[in-house]
Amino acid sequence: MKANLKQSKFPEKMDRKTAVLSTFEKHEQQDILDMAKMPYEERSQLITFLREAQYGTKATTGRLPRFYRIVKLK
């Protein structure tokens, strides 16, 4: 007798009776509350990760750009 080699990637079905719909605003508010509870080091690592994901590693390893404003003296 051959073993069943084909296994489902998703063995359990979603229980549609308990599924809850939510809005983006509720999730955004929960993210803000979760970040407020994080220790400084963890929050800093999260921000660094998000910056690298959006702008690449150069955004966090390079120097910050300098901006100058020339003001006319009186």
pLDDT digits (tens, 9 = 90+) for 17-62: 777 778 889 889 998 999 999 999 999 898 889 888 988 887 777 7
Look at residue 38 in the predicted model and tell me its pLDDT: 92
Which pLDDT value is given to residue 1?
Answer: 46
Reduce the secondary structure of the chain to three states and give it as a string.
Answer: CCCCCCCCCCCCCCCCCCCCCCCHHHHHHHHHHHHHHCCHHHHHHHHHHHHHHHHCCHHHHCCCCCCCCCCCCC
**What is the pTM assigned to this prediction?**
0.49
